[in-house]
Amino acid sequence: MSNPSQAVEAPDADEDTPSSLDEGTLESISEDAPSWLSERRRHAWSVFEDTPLPSTRSEEWRYTDVSRVLDFADLRLTTHGALAENGSLPPGLAAAMDEDHAASGHTLLIDGAVVHVDLEPALAEQGVVLTSLKSAVDEHGDLLEELLATEVVPEEGKFQALNTALWTDGVLLYVPPNVKLDLPIHATRWLSDAASAVCTRTLIVAETGSQVSYVEELLSGDFERRTLVSSAVEVIARDGAQVQCVSIQRLGRGAFCQSAQRTLAYRDATLDTLNVNLGASVSRLDLNARLLGPGAHSNMLGLYFGDEDQHFDHNTSQDHVAPDTGSDLLYKGALDESSRAAFRGIIRVHPDAQRTDAYQTNRNLLLSDEARADSLPNLEIEADDVKCSHGASVGQLDSEALFYLLSRGLSQQQAERLVVLGFLGDVMTRLPLSGVVAKVTRAIERKLKSV
Amino acid sequence: MPENELVEGLGLDEYQYGFVDDEEHVFRTRPGLDEDIVRQISKHKDEPEWMLEFRLKALKIYERKPMPTWGGDLSDLEATLDEIYFYVKPQEQMERSWDDVPDTIKTTFERLGIPDAEQKLLAGVGAQYESEMVYHSLKEEWSSQGVIFDSIEDGLKNHPELFREHFASIIPAADNKFAALNSAVWSGGSFVYVPRGVELKTPLQAYFRVNQERMGQFERTLIIIDEGAQAHYIEGCTAPVYSTESFHSGVIEIVLKKDARFRYTTIQNWSNNMYNLVTQRAVVNENATMEWLDGNLGSKLTMKYPSCYLVGEGAHGDIMSIAYASDGQHQDTGGKVVHVAPNTTSSITSKSISKGHGRSSYRGLCKVYEGAINARSNVECDALLIDATSRTDTYPYIEIEEKRSSVGHEATVSRVGDAQLFYLMSRGLTQEEAMALIVRGFIEPIAKELPLEYAVELNRLIELEMEGSVG
């Protein structure tokens, strides 16, 4: 299996200069694009311009004041991927990628561009596609025209509109019918460009009866100036497909990480997501799971652990459109120092979705006097034959567990770490990907040690 | 008396309070609202200057604030508000003796069973008809101990200092659009003061009746429970069924001093064309206990979230709520608990039933401020769906700023299980009886807290509503 950390080519240094978020930039990145794409971009741009900045007076942004943490006028769009001149990887990036040897394929994104892709040749022969979105515009134009930016659309909000207008690159993963990938696809994203806006998209299509897991990791150093890392993720699981999407966010301070994800599960499909948020100064996740065919099921898992003045905002929704569908959401987080987390989740059971089983749980652990957690687990139910429940809690460390560990000779700090890890680890037991569990556990342990 | 006879005695049918009296009044403002109307109301009440100023200021706030965009559908309300009468004065003065109440009004309240209940069960009774309290009385036993139970207007006249100290101190005019509206045009409601250490053994009760078509009722109640005192206040609401919409927007302010204990029970059974938008809030001091028992059965749309502000150490707040939404009804109800002081505790228990095209929503807030060490709160919401067209929503807000606190929220949604129905029917119950029994079991934890006559009424109502609901 190839190791991407030795296979990265240095991109052309003078390819582009960063440009402000305006119509000129829109026109320059739309150059040479097929008309369907430039139309989609222009439409998105007009929506972006017409959409006011999200305000805390709106329900969806009640807990994050964008006007205080981001100024679009300060940002320059990064269109290319720039490495150090000798082509070597930053140490943090190389270390993370070294964990990902056991994989069906890799892709590496530096700033706004894919700089490396590799895929098991046997899978490529079976028709699996793993490629940069930029090259897919030419090579898989029909598929993109049909599906790209049809789910995470500009009308969803200001950031979704910005991303749809100005995305520079991203990942296309296509798995043909009945093809099963035993090992995950690893995507690694490294951000280096301060005061920039990096807009990328991911499109994953798993055809009937296929199986795939996709693990993405976001990494960077600390930024001295606010940097926007914007992602739009669209995942489609056709009848009977089994898909798992994992995102591990370990960006440096100064980053505003914004991710809009939508998953579509058709008949008897399983589509699970895990979002791990450990890094960035501000992180906002919009996740919408749509259960569109009978027998479809989604596990939606989330983990977050904040310190200093980190701010996490999760906005999830579970749309049960078809009957006999299930979804189970569990988001757990620990908050230290003056960090803050908000969770707003909604289960919508549409009128025809009889025999829905839907669950939603958000649990928070406050580790310091200055930490704060807000939780809004909502239900909207329009069918009668359903089983739905939700729960939310905010509390402190289990004093009995702490006492027990202290009595066994552990220090206060060791004991606290262990209890936090146990609290969060509960989420990972629901994810049947052993390699990923180890990776996430390491990421949390690393963060625990730094606190 | 066995329960069945009692029920028959009440003579309930589909909406038994739907009868209409001839419209009689000594004065009413023209429809709609402006500064002139507010001045007229104040003049008719012969108010001090500061109250008129307060009203006019509130009117400005009301006009400035936008309609809420959350909660229920208020899109038709603006048009309704242009056409309703904001003030209708049914008689010249409030009576202390039941015999002096005009016959038509007396008949109305007698049909609601009020004088009867007063003799048997209550410490005091107030009755509001349209915009004014028409009757207020308090048993000698309690008035001699310094208990005040009066109309809000008489509270302002006779106890100006106590009144001014607390009025609008808990719910300022700018709190929300409808609190501002009420502050501008308030009329009627109760003024209650229970002195230090006095424990009222039987409840005080207020009845609210709207008879006039296209009428807005804006009662304002101020209740002060002094240190170590205890009381229970019950309000009931009914109105005739008209084809046009009516509007009720009350403001209820409650102060519980140290070690006080107070329960406020509402059985809201407005007709199904009533907008019911109410702001209710209690400030709970050291070691005091506030209990809201909120039953919402009637109205077209109710938006009401009784609140407890736990400001003293060891304060406790309890909110129990039952909502029942049938065709054309939206009950957007719940509760708010705000923990400000250490060692405060609270619980919210909400049970809702949605039937036909009815929609019930739980909307609640649990907020723990930094410094409210060892605050504990528990919220439980259960929703029962009767028909495939019924809808239920849950919107809890949980905002925690204090690490040393513990807050939990749980909600479940279910339908009446086929197995439950089958079992009961195999024991010889009809489908309707089985359904009613299951629903009664569902609300029992809260219904058992109600005064007997209301518990019986609630059960009876549910039986009636269940007829023909299956299949």
What are the domain boundaries of chain A?
A: 4-398
CA–CA separation, A208 and A197 (whole Å): 36
Dihedral, CA atoms, B191, B192, B193, B198, nearest 10 degrees? 170
CB environment A96-115: b (16+ within 10 A), e (fewer):
bbebbeebbbbbbbbbbbbb
State residue A5's pLDDT score.
45
In a domain, B166, yes or no: yes
Where are the alpha helices (H) located in B92-139, listed in sequence order? Answer: 103-111, 114-121
Where are the alpha helices (H) located in A217-337, listed in sequence order? Answer: none
Of B401, B416, B431, which closes a domain? B416
Distance from CA of B267 to the nearest CA of A (A): 26
In a domain, B9, yes or no: no
Quick one: B301 and B433 in the same domain? no
Please give the structure tokens belonging to residue A404: 């027990």
Looking at the 3D structure of chain B, how many domains does it have?
A: 2
Quick one: B95 and B244 in the same domain? yes
* Mean pLDDT value across residues B177-185: 95
Q: Does B66 touch chain A (CB under 8 A)?
A: no
CA–CA separation, A380 and B396 (whole Å): 12
Quick one: B371 and B453 in the same domain? no
Which of B367, B409, B414, B435 best probes binding to A when mutated, by most A CB atoms within 10 angstroms?
B409
pLDDT in tens, B289-334: 999 999 898 889 999 999 999 999 999 999 999 999 989 999 999 9
Where are the alpha helices (H) located in B324-430, listed in sequence order? Answer: 418-426
Q: Which of A322, A145, A311 is nearest to A239 (CA)?
A: A322
Residue B100 DSSP one-character state: G
- Triad A270, A271, A275: Cα angle to 5°: 145
Quick one: B459 and B403 in the same domain? no
Q: Which of B319, B376, B296 is nearest to B342 (CA)?
A: B376
CA nearest to B357 within chain A = A382
- Check: CB of residue B48 under 8 Å from CB of residue B160: yes
Cα A401–chain centre separation: 33
Dihedral, CA atoms, B123, B127, B133, B136, nearest 10 degrees? -30
Q: Does B392 touch chain A (CB under 8 A)?
A: yes
- For chain B, the C-alpha Rg in angstroms (whole number) is 22
Asked if the Cβ–Cβ distance from B391 to A393 is below 8 Å, we say no
Please, what is the average pLDDT of chain B? 85
Q: Which of B277, B308, B3, B384 is nearest to A387 (CA)?
A: B384
Contacts of B387 in chain A (CB under 8 A): 384
Quick one: B395 and B336 in the same domain? yes
CA–CA separation, B117 and B366 (whole Å): 37
Nearest to A384 among B396, B409, B415 (CB): B415
State residue A449's pLDDT score.
75
pLDDT in tens, A45-92: 999 999 999 999 888 899 999 999 899 888 989 877 766 556 677 877
Quick one: B220 and B347 in the same domain? yes
Distance from CA of B355 to the nearest CA of A (A): 10
For the cut 80, the answer to whether the pLDDT of residue A4 exceeds it is no
pLDDT in tens, A246-269: 999 999 999 999 999 999 999 999
Nearest to A367 among B386, B389, B403 (CB): B403
- Exposed, middle or buried by CB within 10 Å (0-12, 13-18, 19+), for A313? buried
Distance from CA of A389 to the nearest CA of B (A): 4
Quick one: B305 and B429 in the same domain? no
Instruction: Give me the helix-helix angle, B35-44 and B49-64, nearest 10°.
Output: 150
Show the domain range for B381: 17-416
State residue A262's pLDDT score.
98
* Mean pLDDT value across residues B415-428: 86
Quick one: B272 and B160 in the same domain? yes
pLDDT in tens, B104-148: 667 766 766 666 666 666 777 778 877 777 777 888 888 899 999
Quick one: B241 and B387 in the same domain? yes
More confident of the two residues A425 and A310: A310
Quick one: B302 and B423 in the same domain? no
Asked if the Cβ–Cβ distance from A390 to B410 is below 8 Å, we say yes
* Mean pLDDT value across residues B157-168: 95
In a domain, B88, yes or no: yes
pLDDT in tens, A374-417: 999 898 988 888 888 888 888 888 888 888 899 989 998 889 88
Distance from CA of B466 to the nearest CA of A (A): 16
Q: Which residues of A touch B (CB under 8 A)?
A: 59, 351, 354, 364, 366-396
CA nearest to B380 within chain A = A391
State residue B113's pLDDT score.
66
Binding-face residues of B in 354-383 toward A, CB within 8 A:
368, 370, 383
Q: Which residues are paired to A227 by β-bridges?
A: A255
Return the amino acid letter for A215: V
